[in-house]
Structure 1
Amino acid sequence: MKRLLTPIFNKSIILILVLLSSLTSLHAQTVVRGVVTDAKTKQPMSYVTVSFTGTTQGVGTNGQGRYTLSTTDNTINQIKLSFVGYKTVVRNVTPGQDQTINIALTEDSHSLNEVVVKSAKKKKYSNKNNPAVELIRQVIAHKAQNQVENYNYAEYKQYERMNFSLSNLSDKFRNKRIFKNYQFLFREQDSTAIGGKTLLPMYQEEKTSDNYFRKAPYAKKQIITANKQVKYDENFVDNQGLTAYFNRMYQDINIYDNNVSLLSNQLLSPIANSSPDFYKFFITDTLKDVQPNLIELSFTPRNTNNLLFEGKIYITMDGNYAVQNALLTVNKNINLNFVRQMQADLSFEKNNDGRYHLSQSDLKIEFGINKNKGGGIYGERLVTINNFVINNARTEETYKGPAQVIALNAEDKDDTYWQMTRPDTLDAASASIYKNIDSLQTIPSFKKTMDIATLVLAGYKNFGTFEVGPANTFYSFNPVEGFRVRVGGRSTPMLSKRYYFETYGAYGTRDEKFKYFLSSTYSLNNKSIYSFPQNYIRASFQHDTKIPGQELQFVQESNFLLSFKRGANDIWLYNDIFRLDYVHEFTNHLSYSLGFKKWNQTPAGSLLYQNLLPNGTLNNIDLIQTTELSAQLRWAPHEKFYQGKLYRTPIPDKYPIFTLNYTQGIKGLLGGEYNYQNLIGNISKRFYLSQLGFTDVSTEGGYLFGKVPFPLLDIHHANQTYAFQLQSYNLMNFQEFVSDHYASIAIDHNFNGFLFNRIPLLKKLKLREIIDFKSLWGGVRSENNPANDPSLLRFPGSGAGTYALGSTPYMEGSVGIGNIFKLLRVDLVKRFTYLDHPGAPEWGVRFFVKFDF
C-alpha cells in the first residue's frame, strides 16, 4: 500500500508545484526603473513621461530624472518615453523581471512651420477671476500642511556638494603659458550651460549628514558624518571663513517660506502669502499622464527690478496643492549686483502619508563684473535628501546640544566612501579637484599670485615664518605727530601654531618721538589664533598715540586715508598700555574674555588735563594712571564671519548678537588712582522686511559707578573722517560728549531699491536708497561734574570743547544712495541737536565703500 501511494503522492506534489509555478509566473511583476538624462548635457530630466506602450499606465520622472514603473500584465514588453521638444524613445523590456533601463533623450531637430496668431487687444492682467491666482491661493492655504515642520518628528540623510569655478573662460585664457602643463585643471561642458563652455574649478566641498527634527519642544539637529573640502594655504585663505561665506550666499531654499534668503538678500517666494500682489501667474500646461496629475504654473515679477523670482512651479492636483517641482530664475534686470544667471531646481517626493518633502535642491549662480561677457565665477550647491522618515521619535539625547555637530572621523572618509555615497557621478575634473588644487599650490607662479593678492587685499607680505604689514599703515599724518612712518609685522603658523608674535615701530617727524607695540600670544587649543573657536592668552605693551573717543571698524587708526579729517583734529593722547587677555570661544558662539590693563595716559596736542587747586589757581595734570580688571560675555548664535589678516569680517544674518562688558578700576594696584565699575551692554540685530529691504539695529546702554575725572567717563564714539561709520556719530566732534550713564540706538535701513525701482532712470542704474538714524541719551551725575567739584579735571572748553548730555538727546540722521558703481554709498548727514556747540557741523557728506550683491 505504501509503495502504491508513494508514486501517487510524488506526482501530486509535482502537480501542485507546477500549478504554483504557473500561478506565480501568471502574477509575476514586471518592474522597470532607471534614470532619464539629456543626451547633450548629461543632466537628469524631470517630468519625462514613461509609460508602458499600448496602455494608459505611466509615471513622470522626479527631480533626479529617476522613474519606477511596474505591472503584472506579462503581455507588456515595451516602455515609451516622451517629452516636449525631444524625440520619443521606445525600449524593449523583459516581462516578469525587475530591470534597470537608463535612457538619454535627444532633442527633436525638426522645426515647426511658422504659425501666425492674430488676436484682439491684449487683455490687462488682473488677479480678479484669474484661475492661476485662485490656484496659487490654494497653494498658499495648504502651505502649513506641506512643510516638514508640520510633522511631530522627521529625520533624513543628506548629501551636499558645493563647487566654484572660474567661468566663461576664453581659449586665449586657457592657452596662457601659466596653464601649459596644467590643462587637466580645466573642465569642459555644454556651451549653453550656465558658466559657459570652459570652467576652471577652484573650490569644492562635500558633506553627508544625519538630520533630526522635533516639533515640540522645537529642535533641529544636523550631525555631519563626512566632510571633504578643498583647502588652501592658511597664510592666504581662511578655509573656515570661505565655507561660511559660500554657505551664506547659497543657503537652503525653502519655497514654503515667505522669503527666500539668497546672496545675503531675501527674495519673495512665489508662494508667499502676499505673492499675488508682486507676481503675475499663468497656467501654462497640465500634465495628466503622470501621477499625481500636475498643473504647470508660470510666474513673473510685476516689476522686473524688484527682488523677485521668475520661473515655473508644478502643483499637485491630489488635494494637497503641494509643489512637486520648482524652477526658479531671476530676471536680468533684477537689482542684484554681479549676477549673470541664476537657476534653482527644487524637487519634492511623496511621503507615506501622501504629503511631500524636498528631495533635491540644485542652485546654480554665475557672477561677473560685466553682465554679458568676460570671465566670471560659477558656483553650484547640490543638496540631495533620502531615507526620509516621519514621526519616529528619538531619545532626548539625539536632539540635545548644538544645532550642528561634526563627527570625530568626518574628515577621514576615503574615495571609496564618496563614490558609494554620491547620488551622481562626478566628471573627471570635479572628481580630481582635491588633488589638483594641492598640486596647484606647489606651482611657483600660483604662490606668487596669491602673495600679491594678499598684499593688495590684506596688506601683508609673507616671508614664510614672518609677514610684514599692514601696508596701508606704513605712512600717515596728523597734527600732533606730523608725518608718521610705521613698519610692523607678525609671525605666521609656519613658525608655530601655538606661539604668535606681533610688533610695529613708528616715528613722527613733528613730535620726534618713537612709538612701538609688542605682543606675544599662546594658543591653548593648538589651533591658529585666527581660527574659530579661539582659546588663547595674550600679553602686549603699546606706547603710541590715540584720539579719545575714536573707535574704527575694520581699519587701522594710522590708515593713510583716515589722515584726512574735518574740523579741528588736535585732541590726542600718548598712551602706555600693558594688557593681559584671556579669550575662550565655544562652538555654539558663546565666548568670554578676561583682561588686566595697566593704562597711563598723557594729554597731547591741544588737550589739557587741568583742575583747580584750593587757592583757585589752575593745575596741569600730566599723567592719569589706572589699573583695570575686565570681563566680557558675548553670545552670537549662528554667527558667520570671514577671518581676515586683521579682523573678522561678519557675514550679516538675522540672528542677534549680545555683548556684556564689565570693568573694575582698582585704586592702589600698580599705581592705579581710581576705584570705579563700568557696565556696558549691547544688542545688535538685522531685521529682514521682505520687499522693503532690511534694517540693522544696534542698542547700547552703560552705567559707570564711582567718582572719576572726565577722561575715564564713557567718551562717545565720534567720527571726524569723511568715511561714513555705522557705529559712530558722524557729525560729533572727538571727545565732544562724555557720560557716566547713557543709552543709545542706531538704525540703518536699506530699501534695496524698493522705491528707486519705480523711477525709470534710477531703475536702470540699480541704485538703492538708505536712511540712517542715531540717538544718544545720557548725562553726568553731580559727583562726576567738575562744576560741582573743582578737584575733578575740568571739561576742556577751548576749541570744540567737551560737554555732558542734557535732557535733550544727541540726534543725527542721514539719507543715502547706495550701490553707486556697485560699491559706493554716499550719505547726506544732518545733525539735529546741540548745534550751538563751537565747531558743531549741521550738515556733512560721508562716503562708504562696501561690496554688496
Structure 2
Amino acid sequence: KTPVVLEIVMVEENFILNEVVINPKDNPANEIIRNAIKNKKENSAKTARYTADFYSRGIFRVKNLPKTILGQKLDFFDEVIDSTRSGILYLSETVSKVTFQKPDKMKEEILASKVSGNDNGFSFNDASSANFDFYENYLEFDTNVVSPIADNAFNYYKYQFEGSFFTENRQQINKIKIIPRRETEPVMSGYIYIVDDTYAIYAVDVSFTGKQIQNPALNTLTLKQNFSYNSTSRIWAKNTQTLDFDAGMLGVNISGRFTYVFSNFAFPEKFEKKTFTAEVIRFEENANKKDDVFWNTIRPVPLTSEETTDYIKKDALQEKKKSKVYLDSIDAKKNKFRLMDVLNGYSYSNSYKKWSINYNGPLLNTSFNTVQGYNTSIGLSYFKRNEDK
C-alpha cells in the first residue's frame, strides 16, 4: 500500500494559576467538586436521551506467552504470534447507530463489523460496553467503583486544584486531581476536568487496580473520556473514550485497548413509545462484508502501524487456510480410514467444498435392555455448510 504522510500540529495547552491565598480550611478543588455534585443532575439530564453515530475498535495483545500452562501445551496462537511469543490475539471494529435513554434503555443497529483474520466474523464491540457515566454515583465493573462526583464522594476522595485553562470558545476548564482516601476501596486515581460556569464534565483521565475491584487477574485499568461542546444545544456530550488494561494470570500477560467515538448527536425531547423493544442489537444485512474502501473512509481514528500489519498478516493467513491445497492437506490426515472405523464410525470431509459424509458404526450404537436384549444400529448422514446463511 502507498505510504501516507500524516502531519499533526500539537496545540499548546496553557494552564493559568490565579493568585492563591493559602488557607488549609478552604481548598478551591473542594468547592469546584461540590458544585459539580450539586449540578450533576441537571448536566446529566441534558444527555438523558440521544441518538448518535458510534465507532469502536478493540485490540488484545499477548506478551511472552508461555509454551505450556500446568503441563498442557499452549499452541492455539502459534500462527499469529512472533518468535518472542508476543503479538495481537484479537482486533476488531464496529460502526453503528445508537439510540439511548437513561438509565439503561438502548437500541443499536450495527452497520459494519470487521474482525482481523475472519471475513465472516462479527465484532463483539458494542455501545452498551462503552456506557460509563461519571454523573452516576457508581461505575459498573466487577464491582461498583465510586465516581469522583458521587453524592458521597468526599467520603472516598480528596481533591487538589492543579490550575485552569481556556477552550477555543473561551470557556474556563478546571483541572482537579483525584486522590483516594483509602487505596483498598473501589475508587480511582487521576484527574477530572470541570467546566467553570456549568460545572459539567469536560474530560476524565482515571485508573484503578484489579485489587480495588476484586479482580485478581487485572493489573491496571485506565479510562479516559473527552467531551465536546455543542454551541447550539449548549450541551457537553462525550465524543471519545478509551479503555486501556493490562492483566495476567498463570504466566499469560494480556493488554488491550478499546477506542470509542461518538458523533452526530441529536437530543430529542422524547422518544416514541415503541422505540425501545426486546431487540437490543440488530445487524444490517452484509454488515460484515464491507470492503477496505468503506473502512478507510469511515474510520474517525486511523489505524496504527501495528493494527495495519495485523490486518495484512491475518488476511494472508486466512487466504492460505481457505485455499484448496491447504484444506486438502488437512483432509488427507483426517480422512484416513482405519480398520476399527468399521465398528467405531468414520467421517469423510471435503473442506474446500464444505461437505462431509458421516458413518455411525455399530459399536457406539449398541445398547441392552431386559426385554429386547442387545440392540444395535448403524447410520449414514450428509452435511453441507454455508457460513453466509
Q: Structure 1's 442 and 286: CA in aligned 2 closer, same or farther, altered over 3 A? A: same
**2:176 alignment partner, SS class:** strand
> Is 1:202 aligned with 2:98?
no
What's the CA shift for 1:225? 1.1
CA contact (8 A) 2:349 2:357 kept: no
Matches within 5 A, 1:472-551: none
Distance 1:306 1:492 in 2: 56
| 1:228 paired residue among 98, 114, 133 | 114
What's the CA shift for 1:341? 3.3
State the partner residue of 1:657. none
Matches within 5 A, 1:67-78: none
* 1:535-576 C-alpha deviation (Å, 9 max, x unpaired): xxxxxxxxxxxxxxxxxxxxxxxxxxxxxxxxxxxxxxxxxx
Q: Structure 1's 277 and 387: CA in aligned 2 closer, same or farther, altered over 3 A? A: same
Distance 2:281 2:188 in 1: 30
> Is 1:260 aligned with 2:139?
yes
CA contact (8 A) 1:347 1:361 kept: yes
Q: Structure 1's 416 and 330: CA in aligned 2 closer, same or farther, altered over 3 A? A: same
Q: TM-score, normalised by structure 2?
A: 0.67
| 1:434 paired residue among 287, 311, 324 | 311
What's the CA shift for 1:230? 2.8
What's the CA shift for 1:367? 1.6
Distance 1:226 1:385 in 2: 15
What's the CA shift for 1:490? 9.9
CA contact (8 A) 2:117 2:317 kept: no
Identify unmatched segments of 5+ residues in structure 2.
1-6, 17-23, 67-74, 322-332, 337-343, 368-372
State the partner residue of 1:175. none
Q: Structure 1's 305 and 416: CA in aligned 2 closer, same or farther, altered over 3 A? A: same
Q: TM-score, normalised by structure 1?
A: 0.33
Q: Structure 1's 516 and 289: CA in aligned 2 closer, same or farther, altered over 3 A? A: same
CA contact (8 A) 1:267 1:309 kept: yes
Matches within 5 A, 1:292-691: 292-318=171-197, 320-331=198-209, 334=212, 335-351=214-230, 352-369=232-249, 376-391=253-268, 399=276, 402-440=279-317
Q: Structure 1's 160 and 288: CA in aligned 2 closer, same or farther, altered over 3 A? A: closer
What's the CA shift for 1:406? 1.1
**2:294 alignment partner, SS class:** helix
What's the CA shift for 1:384? 0.5
Distance 1:514 1:202 in 2: 51
> Is 1:211 aligned with 2:98?
yes
* 1:751-792 C-alpha deviation (Å, 9 max, x unpaired): xxxxxxxxxxxxxxxxxxxxxxxxxxxxxxxxxxxxxxxxxx
Amino acid at match of 1:328: V
CA contact (8 A) 1:255 1:271 kept: yes
CA contact (8 A) 1:258 1:273 kept: yes
Question: Using CA pairs below 8 Å that are at least 6 residues apart, which structure has the higher relative contact order?
Answer: 2
Distance 1:490 1:224 in 2: 38
State the partner residue of 2:19. none
* 1:186-229 C-alpha deviation (Å, 9 max, x unpaired): 7xxxxxxxxxx99622211111111223579x953211111111
**2:249 alignment partner, SS class:** coil
Amino acid at match of 2:154: P
Q: Structure 1's 403 and 504: CA in aligned 2 closer, same or farther, altered over 3 A? A: same
State the partner residue of 2:40. 143
Q: Structure 1's 393 and 249: CA in aligned 2 closer, same or farther, altered over 3 A? A: closer
CA contact (8 A) 1:498 1:527 kept: no
Amino acid at match of 2:90: Y
What's the CA shift for 1:277? 1.2
Q: Structure 1's 153 and 200: CA in aligned 2 closer, same or farther, altered over 3 A? A: same
Q: Which has the larger radius of gyration?
A: 1
What's the CA shift for 1:249? 11
Distance 1:357 1:282 in 2: 25
What's the CA shift for 1:275? 2.0
Distance 2:378 2:145 in 1: 48
What's the CA shift for 1:154? 1.9
What's the CA shift for 1:253? 2.2
Distance 1:131 1:517 in 2: 83
Q: Structure 1's 325 and 215: CA in aligned 2 closer, same or farther, altered over 3 A? A: closer
**1:134 alignment partner, SS class:** helix
* 1:614-638 C-alpha deviation (Å, 9 max, x unpaired): xxxxxxxxxxxxxxxxxxxxxxxxx
CA contact (8 A) 2:130 2:260 kept: no
> Is 1:282 aligned with 2:160?
yes
Amino acid at match of 1:156: A
Q: Structure 1's 249 and 403: CA in aligned 2 closer, same or farther, altered over 3 A? A: closer
What's the CA shift for 1:392? 7.0
Matches within 5 A, 1:16-27: none
Q: Structure 1's 435 and 35: CA in aligned 2 closer, same or farther, altered over 3 A? A: closer
What's the CA shift for 1:167? 3.6
CA contact (8 A) 2:61 2:255 kept: yes
Let me know the Cα RMSD of the aligned residues: 5.0
Amino acid at match of 2:233: D
Corresponding pairs, count: 335
Distance 2:356 2:127 in 1: 28
**2:255 alignment partner, SS class:** strand
Distance 1:155 1:358 in 2: 12
What's the CA shift for 1:465? 8.2
What's the CA shift for 1:329? 1.1
